[in-house]
Each structure stands twice: as structure tokens, then as C-alpha cells.
Amino acid sequence: MMLETAPDTQVNSLGLNKPVNETRVVVAMSGGVDSSVVAAMLAEEGYDVVGVTLQLYDHGAALAKKGACCAGRDIHDARRVAETMDFPHYVLDYENRFRESVIDEFADSYLAGATPVPCIRCNERVKFRDLLETAKDLDADCMATGHYIRRFAGPSGSELHRAADPDRDQSYFLFSTTREQLDYLRFPLGGLASKAETRELAARYGLPVADKPDSQDICFVPNGSYAAVIEKLRPGAAEPGEIVHIDGRVLGTHDGVIRYTVGQRRGLGIGGTVDPLYVIRLDADARRVIVGPRDALASRAVPVAEVNWLGDTAFEDAPEGGWEAAVRVRSTRRPKPARIHPLGNGRARVELLDAEEGVAPGQACVFYAPEGSRVLGGGWIIRV
């Protein structure tokens, strides 16, 4: 007796070889319009959607905080979207994980004179590690987010690409995503032409967050006041010290290195100088803020560590002269031509063809293909 065989299953819109209604998708929902639209569009298409929102810090404090993701109001908004589109929604308490994986390192890096980017660590260590594993525990076939970035299936595996809208592109904050994580992740908004298109979709779905403003702050840094957060996390951190010119002259005093960032010009607390001065570097050990003229900010050699490489060839197998690439040393900068020289143990020296100002330890240096939109990975800028 011959067994009947099912007809060939068509690849669905998420690139999975399963019927849409049998494909479970966990959607990471921040309560904002982007992730809400992702959940709504997948639910409307017929996917088995499960919404998950993370409580990342003190819920009571969050209720009084506006303008940042994952706050109490945002949890409420995510739940309302799930009710509107009729899919299950869960809130997971990740406060301890977030504090240990993100906030503590942020505080320690800032105290050491670096300028950290906690949103990258949150994606790397919480959303794309812990939450991704939770999605698998829920028997989800993939996890979708509201990030503006694209994932393509390339000849050598999953590839990461910049968003279609350069003004919304979030590739700088996702450079540490691994190839294994990319195999499981989906980014439905990456191909949209603009944020206006996202809001139009939200209105069409009748979502209560269609007109909700975008988040502006890091979720645990109210009003962008890094120093205030560090003082709360590390009492006594704001120790006074000297403001010193790069030529050795002491120009004044300060109330704490944590109040300054590389490249800063305003609010230095020194007067009587003819030419404008900028923060060139921070010496946390000596409690010194080193200042100088703008041209002293320029750097061509950028040392990086913890390199995550998404190229098709092993990172250490670089051609003579290093990998040709375009790199971004700040989230607000455009990629610039560079050469990447592997040094072993996840480290590299990035040689910029044209000097960049304000290259700061703690920021990310993200690698892109010299042409096209592909993200090749990146690393963390360190002090030599």
C-alpha cells in the first residue's frame, strides 16, 4: 500500500517552508509603533503570532518615565495592540538580566572614561540572546523585531544589510548579531521606504499607537543625563579633577570625568582661551579631562576588539593589505573608506583612508562592504 504524500509546501513570506497558519512567530514588542506594526502585519497575514514585551527595569519608576522603550506605559500599549489584533501577549521580567548584562557594564565603562552604547549590548545580550532562546522554548519558528535593517539569504548563509531608508537604518546598533542569530531573526520593516509608511500601516490596522512619538532616550537614562544615572548607580563617582591642555597646561578643574565626552566643546567650564577647545580624551585613572584644538580630535588608526565578522571568508584570512571596507565610527556618521587588519583574538586595527574626528573608546566601529548595503560586522573601539 502506497502512502499519500502531501503537496510541496510553498515558502512563506518569512522564508520558511511551512504554511503560514502553522508558522509561529514571536514578535519582540517594545510598545512603540514599529514593533506593533510588525506584529499586526504578521497577524493579518495569518501567522501564529505571540507578542512578548520585556520589563527591563523598575516598573514603578518606569510608569513615570516617558520617551523611552520598555517603560510601563509601553507595556500597556503593547498589550492593547495584541488585543486589537487578537493574538496572545506576554510580559517577561528581565530586570536582573538587563542590569547584569547591560546597565552594570554601562556604568563601569563610563567610569573608565569610555562612551558606551548600551542599546547594542541590549540587542546582543538580552533581545538576541535571552529573548531569542525564550522564543525557541515557545516553539517559535522565528523571531521578528521592528528594527530597520534587512536580512537576506545569501549563497553562504544569512546576510545582514542596511535598511532601504538610510535615515532609519539601525545597522550600527545590530553589528554584533551573529550568523546563527540571523538564521532565526526576521526584520519585516527593513524594506520600507520611510517611517511615514510604517505609520500609515499602523493607521490602516487601527492600532492605538499609530501616532505615538518615537523613543528618544536610552530607556534607563532619563532626559539623556548620563552623569545623573552614573551617580545614582555608582555613588561617589563624580570625583573632581583637572582640565588639562594637551600641551600640559592646567586650565581649570571639573566636577567629574563622567560629565564629559570626547569631542565635546560646550560646557567645559574654562574661559580665557582664544581658540575653541574640545575634549580630546578622558583619563579616568588620573581624573583628568584632556582638551585641545579641533585638529587634535582627528584619528586614522582605530583599534577595535570583540570583532563580530559576517563576511563569507574567515576574518583572519584577510588579503594582503587588509579587508577593504567602509566603516562607521559613530551612529550619526556615514560609512567612510577603510582597511581592516586582523590582529588575532578578536582584535583588529582599522585604518581610515581619511581621518575622522571624535573617535571614542566604548563606541562601535561597524564594517560595511565597500559597495552595496551589506553589513560585514564590526567591533568595539578600545584604548591603545
pTM of structure: 0.89
Mean pLDDT check: name the lowest of 19-23, 109-113, 147-151, 303-307.
109-113
Q: Which of 69, 70, 119, 122 is catalytic?
A: 122
Q: 57 falls in which pLDDT band (50, 70, 90)?
A: confident
CA–CA dist 311, 230 (Å, integer): 37
Convert the pLDDT of each residue in 149-176 to its tens digit.
999 999 999 999 999 999 999 999 999 9
The mean per-residue pLDDT over the stretch 186-208 comes to: 95
Beta bridge partners of 160: 151, 375
Mean pLDDT check: name the lowest of 3-12, 50-59, 102-111, 279-288.
3-12
What pLDDT does residue 2 have? 31
Residues above pLDDT 90, as percent of the chain = 72
The helix or strand, by DSSP H or E, that contains position 36, with its residue range, turns out to be helix 33-45
Residues above pLDDT 70, as percent of the chain = 93
CA dihedral (280, 381, 374, 356) in degrees, to 10, reads 20
What pLDDT does residue 60 have? 44
CA dihedral (93, 96, 101, 104) in degrees, to 10, reads 140
| Catalytic residue status for 122 | yes
Q: Domain 238-292, what architecture? A: Roll (2.30)
For all residues of the chain together, what is the average pLDDT? 90
CA–CA dist 188, 148 (Å, integer): 8
pLDDT at 5 over 90: no
For the chain, what are the domain ranges? 20-223, 238-292, 298-381
What pLDDT does residue 273 have? 72
CA–CA dist 294, 372 (Å, integer): 32
Cell 580630546 belongs to 280
What pLDDT does residue 8 have? 47
Written as one string, the DSSP assignment of 92-118 is: EE-HHHHIIIIIHHHHHHHHTT----H
Q: 218 falls in which pLDDT band (50, 70, 90)?
A: confident
10 or 99, which is more confident: 99
The mean per-residue pLDDT over the stretch 44-48 comes to: 97
204 contacts: CB under 8 Å, gap ≥ 6: none
Q: Per-residue b/e over 191-203, b at no fewer than 16 CB within 10 Å? A: ebeebeebbebbe
Name the CATH superfamily, with its identifier, for domain 20-223: HUPs (3.40.50.620)
pLDDT at 384 over 90: no
Q: 328 falls in which pLDDT band (50, 70, 90)?
A: very high
Q: Are 20-223 and 238-292 in the same CATH fold?
A: no
Q: 235 falls in which pLDDT band (50, 70, 90)?
A: confident
Answer CATH for 298-381 from 1.10.3720.10, 3.90.650.10, 2.40.30.10, 3.20.20.150? 2.40.30.10
Mean pLDDT check: name the lowest of 97-111, 146-160, 359-373.
97-111
| Catalytic residue status for 365 | no
9 or 94, which is more confident: 94
Mean pLDDT check: name the lowest of 94-103, 161-170, 208-217, 294-303.
208-217
The helix or strand, by DSSP H or E, that contains position 184, with its residue range, turns out to be helix 179-184
pLDDT at 66 over 70: no
Q: Which of 69, 70, 142, 219 is catalytic?
A: 219
